[in-house]
Chain A
Amino acid sequence: MTVVFLGMRAVMAIGGACASGGPFVPIRPCPDGVPILLVGGIWIGLILAFAYTLMVVGTDVPSIAGLFWPGLFLSLGWNFLDYGFDPPGTGGVAWGWLVPGVLFFLMGGIPLWWVMRSIAEPDRGPVGTVLAPPGGAAVLRMVRDMRNVRIPSVASADLVVDTLERLEELRRSGAIDDEEYERVKRRVIGEQA
């Protein structure tokens, strides 16, 4: 997020657009290293945010995942407003940057308000995530359910009952002794648990 924030400022400082590569000589070449930093920062940021959220959800560790979205949009919105009020070179006000600036502030600020509210009233927030985004409780439940799914090796409870009944018959007929009966019974029940 820091790298994307700084990369965006570097591009805006030279007018807000740049190009590199290709058969043409661009009027405004990109600052060295900034294209790779921006693309890399966005993708690595997405992957790490996803990995972090996946790891922290379903544990009782409080997470700061709810701050990712507000942090991204508020910091980039700040760039739009900063350069919108004081655009490089021309002077005056760049409305084309102020409008996305206000939009980004709303997109980041309203979720931040939600997050802050869930901190103030932790009982209303999802369990285990202090800074959870809106809808976090539903996602938390879904992931926990997915983790708790067990695939039984014996297809159904009926099959277990049938097996136990047949086992009981075998013991009564003397085909297996008590010890064998207990051992197999524990295995049949144990597989289901």
Chain B
Amino acid sequence: MDFDAIFEGRPELKRLALFLYYVALVFALIFLYGRGDFSTPPFVYQEF
């Protein structure tokens, strides 16, 4: 797909698309690596 042709003569649209692309990228990274890791090794407690 020729992106240059799509955005030809429409610089605002190109800027918006680039901005949305990077926002999606940043949030994808946050989603992938940003969640708090509270995982612990297996825990077995049988005294109840």
State yes or no: do A and B come from one complex.
no
